[in-house]
Amino acid sequence: MRLAPAAPPLLAAALLLSLPAWGREVWHATRALQPGDVLRPQDVEAVVPRRDGPAFIDAERDIIGQEVRRRIRANAPIPERDIGERVAVRAAQMVRVFWKSAGVTLEMEGRAMEAGAVGEEIRVHNAGSGRTIRALVVADGTAEVRGRP
């Protein structure tokens, strides 16, 4: 008796993705969402997708309050890459930067070279000194230098 050869891994993966989602609900946009929109409860709904994809966000995960990074069509499933933590500093925005050491606090104003959410490190340019430093975003429009400036 001769057995049929096993399907190649890519073919097997394609077949799995074409199967029904078996009830897995993922987040779908209820309206067209634009970059910069902050997700509200009325912007999303849990729906079983027609075709499942690994990048779609499970409806069990809380995404309310996250920011839209790329345009999302109404009634479309929301991919992981299209949303993220809300940006507290935008690229080219003027930001306050603090540096604290041994009881001394220095404050400067700089221009953010990149966007960042709270907890992310960004580059900030100080026009006065001509230097670019790395600072941690701590609040809207505010960053803090850890260690040496």
pTM: 0.64
84 has a pLDDT exceeding 70? yes
Mean pLDDT of 46-70: 93
Backbone angles phi, psi at 40, to 5 degrees: -115, 160
2 has a pLDDT exceeding 70? no
Residue 22 confidence (pLDDT):
58
Which amino acid is present at 54? P
b/e sequence 43-71, b meaning 16+ C-beta within 10 Å: bbeeeebeebeeebbebeeebeebbbbee
- 123 closest CA partner among 82, 93, 81, 86: 93
Residue 29 confidence (pLDDT):
98
138 has a pLDDT exceeding 60? yes
- 40 closest CA partner among 73, 86, 1, 79: 86
